[in-house]
Amino acid sequence: MKRVLILGSTGFIGNNLLKKLIKKNYKLRILKHKSDLKIKSRNIEIYKGDILNLDSLKRSLENVDIVINLVGQLMEDEKLFEKINIQGNKNLLKESIKKDVKKIILISTINIYGSSKKPYSEEDKIKPETKYAKVKSEVENIYKNFSRKNNLNVVILRLSNVYGSEDKGIVNLLIDSTKKKNKVEINKNASRDFIYIDDATNAIIKTIEFEKEGIEIFNVCTSKKTNLLDLAKLIENISKKEIKKTIKDKNKEDSIFANNKKIRNALNFTPKTDLSEGLKKIFQDIK
């Protein structure tokens, strides 16, 4: 059984992924910074440190076959966000070569494509429009160049908007509004591709067993876009409660979604949870 190191295991996606991998009896190791790990299992080795600390990173990579990197999600401190993503990933790549890691799975985002009226495919030219997307596209380039020069196997997963009961994104902001009556600002011209957490983690797990030399990129998404106003209406219909919203008309089309044909063909992966079903699951979880 392969030994898997997870970086970013205490975040929303990482925590849910960890639960599934425990059930599948993987040999697991995590590099934990400050957040507490609520999950306990004999199959998990816990190392303290972070991706910027070379000593802790080196220790955590000993005898590891596969690294799943979920580190570097959006944060308020832009300088730290950039440092973790750029310098942190350079640290990880250099040390992974030294420790003979077989593969790294990098969790990226479809936001690097920018807005479009058509769903993007992996071969399409990217046009990142936000600081977050620009940094993530730079990280991808670092991985691509490093993989080619050092024969390191890399899989980049570009995730769409992942939602679930523990998330803090737009879905849960709207759901919270049905209870707390807080106001949520919605751009009437914005649409996103929403994928349920179980589907997103299933795609990551399929990638662990994916055998291919070099670098591969997959969109992990539903290939469907949902306007944010339609999302709000759907949540109101399910909850039977009104969302307090401020509707903004920013004129510019803001539509980010992607094509999942490649991962369907290569990994036999298809999202199983439609948006309505996923939202109902969240309401059941938070009762």
Is position 268 within any domain? no
Read off the pLDDT of each residue in 39-43 and give the average, rounded to a whole number. 72
Q: Assess whether pLDDT exceeds 80 at residue 39.
A: no
Asked if residue 172 and residue 110 are part of one domain, the reply reads no
Residue 67's nearest CA partner among 88, 40, 42 is 88
Q: Structural domain tally of the chain?
A: 2
Is position 89 within any domain? yes
Q: Residue 21 class from Cβ within 10 Å (0-12 exposed, 13-18 middle, 19+ buried)?
A: buried
Confidence of residue 250 (pLDDT cuts 50, 70, 90): confident
Asked if residue 66 and residue 39 are part of one domain, the reply reads yes
Q: Assess whether pLDDT exceeds 70 at residue 133.
A: yes
Three-state DSSP class for residue 137 = helix
Is position 266 within any domain? no
Q: Phi and psi of 90, rounded to 5°? A: -65, -40
Instruction: Say what the pTM is.
Output: 0.94
Asked if residue 168 and residue 98 are part of one domain, the reply reads no
Q: How many of the other CB atoms lie within 10 Å of CB of 226? A: 17
Q: Assess whether pLDDT exceeds 70 at residue 42.
A: yes
Average pLDDT, the chain: 92
Is position 262 within any domain? no
Q: How far apart are CA 251 and CA 31, in angstroms?
A: 44
Highest mean pLDDT among 76-90, 145-159, 166-180: 145-159
Read off the pLDDT of each residue in 9-19 and give the average, rounded to a whole number. 91
The answer to whether residues 221 and 262 touch, using CB atoms and an 8 Å cutoff, is no
Asked if residue 111 and residue 100 are part of one domain, the reply reads yes
pLDDT of residue 35: 61
> Which domain range does residue 121 map to?
3-162+194-220
Q: At what angle do helices 275-285 and 228-239 cross, to 10 degrees?
A: 50
Check which CATH number belongs to the domain holding 74 and give it.
Answer: 3.40.50.720
How far CA 48 is from CA of 57, 59, 87, 90, 249, in Å, comes to: 9, 10, 19, 19, 46
Percentage, residues of the chain above pLDDT 90: 76
Asked if residue 68 and residue 198 are part of one domain, the reply reads yes
pLDDT of residue 10: 85
Highest mean pLDDT among 36-50, 179-193, 260-274: 260-274
Asked if residue 199 and residue 186 are part of one domain, the reply reads no
Read off the pLDDT of each residue in 268-272 and give the average, rounded to a whole number. 96
pLDDT of residue 37: 61
Q: Phi and psi of 24, rounded to 5°? A: -90, 5
Least confident of 22-36, 163-177, 179-193: 22-36
